[in-house]
Structure 1
Amino acid sequence: MPLYEYRCDDCGVVFEARQKFSDEPLDTCRHCGGRAKKLISKTAFALKGGGWYQQGYSSEKKAAASSGNSSTASSSDTCASCPKAVNG
């Protein structure tokens, strides 16, 4: 569950609340009972290192796959019973 930050308008205290995405935002301060507002904070999420990009999305992987031996059939190698390709 996400951790949200709130600030009280009355006492100025900043506090955290662990809530579900579907939960309504808190509107009262846990410390004084005043009006609280949800803060927008920076996240600690970062993608570092080689990991996901090089393994799944790197152009080097695509280049290596396309430079390999490909066995494409030429027009003279088509079978007579296969349907003809329609250029559209």
Structure 2
Amino acid sequence: MPIYAFECAACGHEFDRLQKMSDPDPTTCPACGAEHQVKRQLTAPSFRLSGSGWYETDFKKDGDKKKNLTEGSAKPIESKPAESKPSSSE
């Protein structure tokens, strides 16, 4: 269940509430008791999906190229063999 943030327009009291998406928003402020003054606030998510393991899909076939969604350009990731450095025998 998501946590929603609310604010009372009458007294300015801010509070959070854990509720289902289908539950109605509260109409009474728990601090001052004002009716129909409580409004839901817009908040930013508290997590971010990032890292090298987040791909468009992890269920593609072996021949398909995966796109890393954390990179802005969404370039296909290609595996390359490690380059060996030439040995210097001077």
Q: When the two structures are superposed, what TM-score results if normalisation uses the length of structure 1?
A: 0.60
Using the aligned pairs only, state the percent identity: 35
SS of 2:77's equivalent?
A: helix
Counterpart position of 2:22: 22
Higher relative contact order, chain-length normalized (CA < 8 Å, sep 6+): 1
Distance 1:31 1:8 in 2: 9
Aligned-pair CA distance for 1:45: 2.5
Change (3 A) 1:37 1:55: closer
RMSD: 2.4
Distance 1:10 1:41 in 2: 20
Counterpart position of 1:2: 2
Q: Is 1:60 paired with 2:50? A: no
Change (3 A) 1:54 1:38: closer
Give 2:42's match in structure 1, choosing from 40, 55, 69.
40
Describe the superposition over 1:51-74 as per-residue Cα deviations: whole angstroms up to 9, x where unpaired: 12287332236x89xxxxxxxxxx
Structure 2 runs not aligned, ≥5 long: 59-65, 68-75, 81-90
User: In structure 2, what residue type is equivalent to 1:24?
Assistant: P
Aligned residue pair count: 63
Runs of 4+ displaced beyond 2 Å: 54-61
User: In structure 2, what residue type is equivalent to 1:17?
Assistant: R
